[in-house]
């Protein structure tokens, strides 16, 4: 491959010219070089120079002029130049050494070889020169090209040292294997197994960032299987790790809930890029290990695992440092409701039950239905066919009722303020009781979702409570 053609643009020539003027060797390194060979677009470019990365960045920013914005991070010895087209990162070549109880290295100036050897994987340890004399020349001391061709994730140096020094690299190995569909080299994988406990010194925020990248991958189950197989999962999300395996009593076993969950996750991933819907798929059965019981008459049961799982979601998000905002509430809602459409499939599909599902799910009903459809994974193909047919019946019923009754994101046709005005009440229990009665009457199909009919029902309900109207409706 002629790499000079791939970096034959003004910005690379500008950086090379500035480096030549300053007498500094300069190279494009890391992910940008890797992605050239993978034919992937990358807008961020990392440069390593033998010398001061900050000085080089400052001079490059001056050459690029008013369109360039320089940011200097002296504590880290790095600098960034942003233009409207690209982000350029600059650092001086360095060598690193670590203490056992920290992933923060002691950094010293080094050579290009020092800098490439400290990198996480061979596929990220390649460099391309931008100096004019050697423009486009590839430096590949650890055969990163060969590992790209063979689709292998491997460390440049001893993997035990690599992962002990910076345990986050174990997560990155799993993430790259998942994103790229590569295999973790056997020696590298066994080193992760040996060093898995070291992940506990890494901040949960950094771990969560890697997990979200795994979740955003085309087949996220690859990453979660690897996390389990290498021993990282029990330190990161032990509740999910506990789902693995099958228990048998009296010849009756249950399905492996971990493998089932990964199947559901991939089913969802084929339909949606929504990372938080994928998290809901991963956690939908998270309470099964704590609710699992064996009944000689019924076999294995997991009663209320959806409700208990929903209660677990905030704690799990807090532990993983995932956002405790509307995203968490969305996942919690889907975990709690994921059994409802299935229950409708198995029972009679009544209008009332469908209205209540529409009301409780609101604008998330389509995502809930996608999750529930993905959850139908039985090996019994006749059972799957029957469930899918009934599932479509539920969807049809939902569409009919939604068009007729406007239940999604339901707003009561008679508000609490209306009730207080008509009966001259202050906020009190009776106001809430009347509102709840009107809502239930609409959801149960006793009255349509119309203001006139809701007012009539309100008067009837209030009369039974010995309340008389004082003011006319507004």
For residue 130, what is the domain's CATH number?
Answer: 3.30.460.10
What pLDDT score does 96 carry?
Answer: 66
Q: Identify the top-confidence range among 179-188, 298-307, 366-375, 448-457.
A: 179-188
Count: domains in the chain: 3
Residue 188's CATH number: 1.10.110.30
Q: Is the pLDDT of residue 252 over 80?
A: no
Specify whether the CB–CB gap between 112 and 130 falls below 8 A.
Answer: no
Answer yes or no: do 22 and 104 share one domain: yes
Q: Indicate whether 331 belongs to any domain.
A: no
Lowest mean pLDDT of 178-192, 237-251, 356-370, 380-394, name the range: 380-394
- Using alpha carbons, select from 186, 237, 247, 239 the residue that is nearest to residue 214: 237
* Residue range 32-64, pLDDT digits in tens: 999 999 988 888 899 999 999 999 999 999 999
Lowest mean pLDDT among 238-252, 346-360, 419-433: 346-360
Q: Are residues 115 and 36 in the same domain?
A: yes
What is the arithmetic mean of pLDDT over 176-199?
Answer: 97
CB under 8 Å, gap of 24 or more: what pairs does 227-231 form? 227/174, 228/258, 230/170, 230/174, 230/184, 230/189, 230/192, 230/193, 230/196, 231/192, 231/193, 231/196
Same domain, 41 and 169: no
| One domain for residues 7 and 146 | yes
Q: Which domain holds residue 425?
A: 416-464
Integer CA distances (angstroms), 421 to 157, 410, 455, 472, in order:
77, 22, 13, 8
| CA distances, 144 to each of 230, 406, 433 (Å) | 23, 58, 69
Q: Is residue 454 part of a domain?
A: yes
146 and 156 share a domain? no
The reported pLDDT for the residue numbered 406 is 73
- 141 and 159 in one domain? no
Residues 142 and 172 in one domain: no
Neighbours of 53 (CB within 10 A): 26
Q: Is residue 67 a part of any domain in this protein?
A: yes
Residue 103 lies in a domain: yes
| Claim to verify: residue 196 and residue 218 sit in the same structural domain | yes
CA-only gyration radius of the chain, Å: 30
Last residue of a domain, one of 96, 122, 150: 150
| Mean per-residue pLDDT over the chain, rounded | 90
Q: How many CB atoms lie within 10 A of CB 41?
A: 6
- Say yes or no to pLDDT of 399 above 90: no
Question: Does a structural domain hold residue 228?
Answer: yes
Residue where a domain stops, chosen among 150, 183, 208 = 150
* pLDDT (0 to 100) of residue 337: 94
Q: In this model, does residue 105 exceed pLDDT 70? A: no
Give this prediction's pTM. Answer: 0.87
Nearest-angstrom CA–CA distance, 31 and 27: 13
In angstroms, rounded to a whole number, what is the distance separating the alpha carbons of residues 134 and 465?
90
Domain closes at, from 150, 170, 188: 150
458 in a structural domain? yes
The answer to whether position 371 is within a domain reads no
**Structural domain contains residue 26:** yes
Q: What is the pLDDT of residues 335-381, one digit of tens each?
A: 999 988 877 766 667 788 888 888 888 889 999 999 998 988 767 67
Cα–Cα distance measured from residue 248 to residue 350, given in angstroms and rounded to the nearest whole number: 37
Q: Are residues 18 and 126 in the same domain?
A: yes
User: Taking a C-beta distance cutoff of 8 angstroms, is the pair 273, 225 a contact?
Assistant: no
Query: Quick one: 160 and 125 in the same domain?
Result: no
Are 142 and 167 in the same domain?
no
Q: Same domain for 34 and 138? A: yes
- Residue 259: C-alpha distances to residues 47, 244, 377, 435 (Å): 42, 7, 11, 45
């Amino acid at each position: 491959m002629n790499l000079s053609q791939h970096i034959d643009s003004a910005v690379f020539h500008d950086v090379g010219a500035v480096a030549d003027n300053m007498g500094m060797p300069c190279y494009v390194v890391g992910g940008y070089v890797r992605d050239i060979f993978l034919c992937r677009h990358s807008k961020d470019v990392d440069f390593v120079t033998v010398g001061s990365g900050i000085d080089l960045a400052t001079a490059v920013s001056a050459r690029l002029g008013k369109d360039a914005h320089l940011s200097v991070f002296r504590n880290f010895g790095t600098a960034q130049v942003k233009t409207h087209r690209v982000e350029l990162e600059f650092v001086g070549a360095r060598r690193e050494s670590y203490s056992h109880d920290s992933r923060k290295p002691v950094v010293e100036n080094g050579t290009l070889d020092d800098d490439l050897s400290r990198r996480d994987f061979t596929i990220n340890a390649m460099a391309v020169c931008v100096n004019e004399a050697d423009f486009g020349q590839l430096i590949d001391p650890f055969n990163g090209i060969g590992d790209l061709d063979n689709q292998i994730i491997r460390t440049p140096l001893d993997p035990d040292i690599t992962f002990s020094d910076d345990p986050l690299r174990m997560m990155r190995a799993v993430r790259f294997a998942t994103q790229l569909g590569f295999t973790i080299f056997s020696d590298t994988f066994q080193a992760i197994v040996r060093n898995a406990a070291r992940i506990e010194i890494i901040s949960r925020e950094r771990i969560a960032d890697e997990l979200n990248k795994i979740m955003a991958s085309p087949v996220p189950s690859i990453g979660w299987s690897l996390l389990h197989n290498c021993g990282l999962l029990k330190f990161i999300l032990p509740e999910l790790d506990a789902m693995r395996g099958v228990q048998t009593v009296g010849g009756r076993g249950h399905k492996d809930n971990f493998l089932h969950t990964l199947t559901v996750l991939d089913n969802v991933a084929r339909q949606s890029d929504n990372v938080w819907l994928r998290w809901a798929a991963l956690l939908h059965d998270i309470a099964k290990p704590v609710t699992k019981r064996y009944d000689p008459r019924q076999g294995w049961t997991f009663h209320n695992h959806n409700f208990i799982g929903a209660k677990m979601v905030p704690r799990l998000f807090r532990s993983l440092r995932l956002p405790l905002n509307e995203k968490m509430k969305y996942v919690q809602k889907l975990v709690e409701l994921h059994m409802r459409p299935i229950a409708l499939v198995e029972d009679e599909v009544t209008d009332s039950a469908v209205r209540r599902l529409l009301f409780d799910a609101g604008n998330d009903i389509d995502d809930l239905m996608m999750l529930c459809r993905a959850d139908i994974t039985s090996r019994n193909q006749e059972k799957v066919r029957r469930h899918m047919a009934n599932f479509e019946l539920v969807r049809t019923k939902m569409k009919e009722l939604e068009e007729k009754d406007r239940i999604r994101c339901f707003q009561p046709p008679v508000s609490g303020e209306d009730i207080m005005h008509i009966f001259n009440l202050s906020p009190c229990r009776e106001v809430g009781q009347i509102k709840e009665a009107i809502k239930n009457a609409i959801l149960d199909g006793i009255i349509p979702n119309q203001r006139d009919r809701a007012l009539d029902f309100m008067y009837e309900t209030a009369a039974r409570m010995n309340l008389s109207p004082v003011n006319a409706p507004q």
